[in-house]
Amino acid sequence: MRLGPDIQISRASEIASNNKKVLSSIENLSKNLRAIRAILELSCEDLAKYIGTTKQTISNIERKSKMSNCQYIAIRKILKRRIKYCKLYRR
Question: What DSSP designation does 60 have?
Answer: H
Helix 5-39 to helix 55-64 angle, to the nearest 10 degrees?
110
Q: What percent of the chain has pLDDT over 90?
A: 34
pLDDT of 7 = 54
- The C-alpha angle with vertex 16 and arms to 11 and 17, in degrees rounded to 5, equals 95
- The per-residue pLDDT for range 12-49, each reduced to its tens digit, is 556 556 666 767 888 888 889 999 999 888 999 999 99
Q: Which pTM was predicted? A: 0.70
Residue 6 to residues 2, 3, 11, 90: CA-CA distances in angstroms? Answer: 12, 8, 9, 54
